[in-house]
A and B are shown apart, each in its own frame.
Chain A
Amino acid sequence: MIEASTLPGLGGAADCSNENDSSCSDLSNKSLRIAENAKKKRQAEAPLLSALKYFSQVKTGTPRNGNDELNGYLEQVEREALAQGLSPEAVSIMLEFAMSLRMTSVISARVLRFLIPASVVPQEAVVRGFSWLCMQKLSQPTQVLFLRWVLSMFDMIDSKDNLRAIYGFIFSFVIDETMCPFICHLLYLLTLKEHVKPFRVRKLLDIQGRMGKQPFLMQLLALYKVFCPEMVTLTMPSKMRAGFKNHNSTWKAALAALQKRNISKETHSMELTLGVRQHPHRRKRKFHHLEVPALTPMMESSRSNSRKGVCLQQLSSFAELLDNLNSIELPAQMGSLLSSALALHYLDCVQDESAFLRLNFWLGHALHEEFLFGPVDGSSESMAEAAHFLSMLVSTQHFLQEGFSSTEGFLYKFLTMWDGFLHRPQILELLSDIPLVPSSYIKDVLFEPLMQLYFTSSVFFKCSVIECLTSMLRKWLTWHSVCAQEEGLDISLNNRSTMSLSLSGFLDSVLKLVQFVGRLTSVGLQLERGHTLLLHHALGFYETVSDMFLKYSLPLFVMLPPGVFFPALLATDPVSIDRLGYIMFRYRQNLTSAKEQQKKQRELSLHINRSVYKEFNTYLVAMVAHLWNSKSFSPRTGIEVSEALLERTKVADYSKSFDLIHHPAFLNYAIDFHQQCWPERTDVDLNSIKAGKYWDWYVEFLFTQGFDGLRDFIKVNINQASARQSSGQPLSQPAQPSQPTAVASSSS
């Protein structure tokens, strides 16, 4: 009793702290209010204590009518219960009082109706409740009321092991027709595998024979089937309502209020319940191959041995999954693992090769039947269903960070007959998940079909293909860098022949992919007349390529093709030039650090082709000549146009026309700068920016406009000190950028 009195007090303290959360604005008020609340509590406690004492001691047969003491205490407890909920001890006392029928059933029913626990219901109280139920003294409505109460409070019962121990007793009530639905529901919540016994199955079948196909019987039998499929064979009618009815109407409002109060106390555990991915009632199609099968355990006879494991659908949270990780049984159909997030977590840990083969057979079959063999069903429902299936597959593969080999096999076939339009986003996503393709057949299975689609489709399709291939390259490189870390597959450490063989295989494939994208982007840009969007996708690809050595520790250097470099350099938007600057900057960083490594470890065969340095230097010279030195189209800049032709353009000073001032992409910045420098001047003479410190200021001005790539490029490649020396002539100063030549000379 002492405990009973202290606990509500604690509950009250917690409560008042909640109130504080909402009104913590005023600190002085806060302490006052706490004191006031505590005082109120103490006052309320005393009568509640005596009320509980009364109910625990009142004798059977005490008169009810005109019993003011009883009514007073009842009201007291009711008020408390509805306002705060009752402490576990109070729940025990009141439940005992109600079930023992010491006063009439009317009083018992009234008590049950307001029996709202504040935190938990002690399991022992419920067990005692059932022992009273066994006495068969309660009236039928009270029996039902009790069962409804147990069901409604089920989640609050502190533990269920003793309840499970009296499973047999509870089961015995199924023969009572009124109680049966509630008992079935309760058994459904309590059943463990060991509870499923042939005699119980027979009993339920017997009742089903008498009562017909009742949903509650069906549900319980279905659960039994889940545990012991060999004991009961059952097929759900297609339109069965899932779950049991809710019986909590009496306590719903009070429980909701209680939950609201408790919500801040609870720490939210991330729950990954089963079935989150399941689509609600999907229309049944003639072909069911796109349906992800349900999670069902293996048949007893096909289990490998008598080892009893846990089946996945018994688990409902990630914590449970972790606890049972070593005893989980694979389901009868591996495809069913794609049905829930929890199962996917498990799939990530599965080591069994046969299991993956099963999954791949199922998935391959589904994809083949739907997209390769099946009759074309253009109806919007089936299109939506197919898109949904593919999206599910995409998100699954992203979750696992790996593509299924059956998807890969399917894509190779599908690519040859794809129109580039059907489910494009999903197909391209799946395509980017393909693991490294050996270089010997990458052309046949991937490049040829993609190329046909690429050159015959719109610029937007071209962009999405480049994006897809960029993503594919990144995934390959990431895979490689993770592998290199985990396996010590490091270029500097490893010299085992097998590893270097695999590394060269990897390099071959990546090289093929980069070269392929080089062709696609060069020709694509030509076809689309340097379309800006396509150019940006191309530059995005080379941002990854330029950084392969430093970011992914892959000793491979491939320069971007002229077909991408020059359109970017001469582009009309400054962003392209900025990105190009960044790419050139990264190339330089990568090449320099590779060179340093090469120097450090002589014995290493980190071979970088000299032509890479040559190409890099050519580009560098071209970029500096165009942007900095105002020497566009001069010899050795990569684009040499005959003077006669340039004369015919009637551009007066064509060699200046692509420097940072006159470049169409920067012209408006130059004008802006000019206006800020000489606000009073009406005639704009851009050439005056080139004079003296104005050039430096202009370059600084450009950097403040967010051209970070350009800044990196200029800072690294152009000797600013020498620029300052020949301050009057920025055109002539870094005629031969010193660092790039250093790179070139040291390579030879």
Chain B
Amino acid sequence: MDVRSAVSTPVTQYTHRRSKSYGRNFDATSRFGYTPGQLTITRIQTSRETAKARKLTEKVDPEQLALLVKKEWKLSYVTPLYKFRHTQLKIYSRHLSAFIMAEKQQGMAVEVGLEAGFKVTFSTVLGMAETKDDAETVFIQIHNKPVFASEGDAPKVVWSGWLTCINGDPEYLQALPPEFVSLPLFCSSGAESLTFMVKSWFERTFDCSFGSMGLDPTDLHWLAALWTGCHSDNNIRSLKLAWTLPSQPPLDVSLTVNAQDAWDLWDKVRQQDSTDNSISIEEVKRFITGIESHFFRHFKVYLSAGVLKKVSTALGSVHLDGKIKITCSDYMITVLTLLTECAILRTPILPGLF
């Protein structure tokens, strides 16, 4: 028996080598056994919770929160960051500053840590995360001190951006090895050139990839419905919608619905379902169809033939090509949950791993 076990040891080691399959890492026994269906699973939500007003200011530093609202953010998705550590933000600040300086002065070498025109600060927005799987939000600001500024002048914020993950799909997040931090949603505001530099620094440092994140008309439908649903607690003033119709030349239609009217319609649509806390995609569809058929009755134009491009209320606005503005932090979590979902949906999912 001893001989047998001595022989079998190297065999198992060898097996281990063979089982390496570039991400589809199964040992021979489980290789065929991984759960089917996950590959084709449609991770698109068909129902979500209603937007509940949440005083985020109680959880999150109001000063930090103020930086996130009332600004229009350009959305991107990011693949998981490799070896990103929330404890090393100071070092990252220094490195990104130096990187930007070097990029700005193409070709001139720059010493790290030198007082430079650009100053980057990384910070954690504590309390934004919703579940234990969500990584804490990271906020980045770039300040620039103009060349001819006087001594007392404070550096101006020229760019800001943040990486976040709110209510991310737990199955996906838990499947990631611990070296990875998933902050799939990246919002940026500021000069394109700086955004590009920040992205390339992240790509080089954390071996991740960025892609711009356009939204789906359905996402806009969801947000229109979710925001309208808040009207009873928080006045949305009006629901503004903008479509583009594929006529020659393209026809832009913008429609402003009185807040109360919108809410009444939503309430009618909702009444058919008794469950209070969740909204189904059918309700959202009925709501949008209601608005569209109302428009048809007056103008004889089928809005459903076009594409909903923009939705805005007093709580925030969203554009199809991936721009969002959140005006009221109370409903922020709902919106960010939806956007995190969109971002994870864009991330390349590896069959067999997730």
Give me the interface of A with B, judged by CB distance under 8 Å. 201-202, 204-205, 208, 213, 218, 221, 225, 230-238, 240, 289, 293, 296, 299, 301-302, 332-335, 351, 353-354, 356-369, 373, 400, 402-406, 408-410, 412, 435-436, 438, 440-441, 444-445, 482-483, 486-489, 498-499, 501-502, 505-506, 509
Contact = CB atoms under 8 A, between A and B. Distances in A.
A362 B207 contact: yes
A373 B39 CA distance: 19
A406 B39 CA distance: 12
A501 B208 CA distance: 38
29 contacts: A213-B107, A231-B111, A231-B112, A232-B109, A233-B109, A235-B99, A235-B107, A293-B203, A299-B95, A302-B205, A353-B177, A356-B25, A357-B177, A359-B23, A361-B208, A362-B79, A362-B209, A365-B209, A403-B22, A405-B21, A406-B348, A409-B39, A436-B31, A444-B40, A483-B18, A486-B11, A502-B33, A505-B32, A509-B32
Interface stretch (B80-88, B240-248, B275-283): B80-88
Counting from the closest, the 6 A-B pairs by CB-CB distance are A364-B348, A505-B32, A405-B23, A440-B36, A365-B209, A233-B98
B29 A499 contact: yes
Nearest to A348: B20
Contacts of B80: 361
B88 A301 contact: yes
Contact of A438 (B14, B32, B348): B32
A405 to B, nearest CB: 4
Contact of A402 (B11, B22, B33, B99): B22
A486 B106 contact: no
Given A236-B107, A237-B107, A405-B353, A410 B211 contact: no
A502 B28 CA distance: 8
B29 A441 contact: no
A410 B351 CA distance: 9
Contacts of B108: 208, 213, 234
A373 B211 contact: yes
A506 B348 contact: no
Contacts of B83: 302
B34 interface: yes
B22 A412 contact: no
A412 B39 contact: yes
B344 to A, nearest CB: 13
A620 B232 CA distance: 81
Given A232-B112, A332-B207, A405-B21, A354 B82 contact: yes
Contacts of B111: 201-202, 205, 231-233
A365 B32 CA distance: 26
Contacts of B157: none
Nearest to A240: B107
A234 B79 contact: no
Contacts of B349: 364, 409
A487 B15 contact: yes
A509 to B, nearest CB: 7
A408 B36 CA distance: 15
B102 interface: yes
Contact of A487 (B11, B107, B350): B11
B267 to A, nearest CB: 37
A354 B34 CA distance: 19
A235 B106 contact: yes
Contacts of B24: 405, 408, 435
A635 to B, nearest CB: 44
Interface string B108-134: 111110000000000000000000000
B322 to A, nearest CB: 11
Contacts of B177: 353-354, 357
B102 A233 contact: yes
B23 A360 contact: yes
Contacts of A366: 209
A505 B36 CA distance: 12
Contacts of A296: 204
B339 to A, nearest CB: 16
B290 interface: no
A50 to B, nearest CB: 54
A408 B21 CA distance: 12
Contacts of A486: 11, 14-15, 18
A436 B31 CA distance: 9
A84 to B, nearest CB: 46
Given A202-B111, A333-B203, A405-B22, 20 more contacts: A213-B107, A225-B109, A233-B99, A233-B101, A233-B102, A235-B99, A235-B106, A301-B95, A332-B207, A356-B23, A357-B176, A360-B22, A361-B208, A361-B209, A365-B348, A366-B209, A404-B23, A409-B351, A441-B37, A445-B39
A357 B99 contact: no
B352 interface: yes
Contacts of A204: 109
Contacts of B204: 293, 296, 332-333
Nearest to A404: B22
Contact of A289 (B88, B109, B211): B211
A497 to B, nearest CB: 10
Interface in B171-185: 176-177, 179-180
Contacts of A353: 25, 177
Nearest to A405: B23
Contacts of B65: none
Contacts of B40: 412, 441, 444-445
A362 B176 CA distance: 15
B91 interface: yes
Contacts of A498: 29
B119 to A, nearest CB: 14
A406 B350 CA distance: 5
B347 to A, nearest CB: 8
Residue from B28, B29, B351 whose CB has the most chain A CB atoms within 10 Å: B351
A142 B108 CA distance: 32
Contacts of A367: 348
Contact of B346 (A301, A373, A441): A373
Contacts of A444: 40
B103 interface: yes
Contact of B348 (A231, A361, A441, A487): A361
A365 B23 contact: no
A369 B78 CA distance: 12
Interface string B188-214: 000000000000000111111101001
Given A205-B109, A373-B211, A441-B40, A359 B22 contact: yes
A235 B196 CA distance: 14
Contacts of B21: 402, 405, 435
A364 B40 CA distance: 16
Given A405-B24, A441-B39, A488-B11, A234 B209 contact: no
B134 to A, nearest CB: 19
B70 to A, nearest CB: 29
Contact of A360 (B18, B91, B348): B348
Contacts of B102: 233-235
A489 B203 CA distance: 43
A335 to B, nearest CB: 8
Contact of A233 (B15, B112, B351): B112
B308 to A, nearest CB: 20
Contacts of A509: 32
A236 B105 CA distance: 10
Contacts of B214: 373
Contacts of A332: 204-205, 207
A483 B28 contact: yes
A405 B109 contact: no
Contacts of A445: 39-40
Contact of A237 (B85, B101, B106): B106
Contact of A354 (B110, B179, B209): B179
B32 A502 contact: yes
Contacts of A334: 207
Interface string B1-41: 00000000001001101101111110011011110110110
Interface in B24-77: 24-25, 28-29, 31-34, 36-37, 39-40
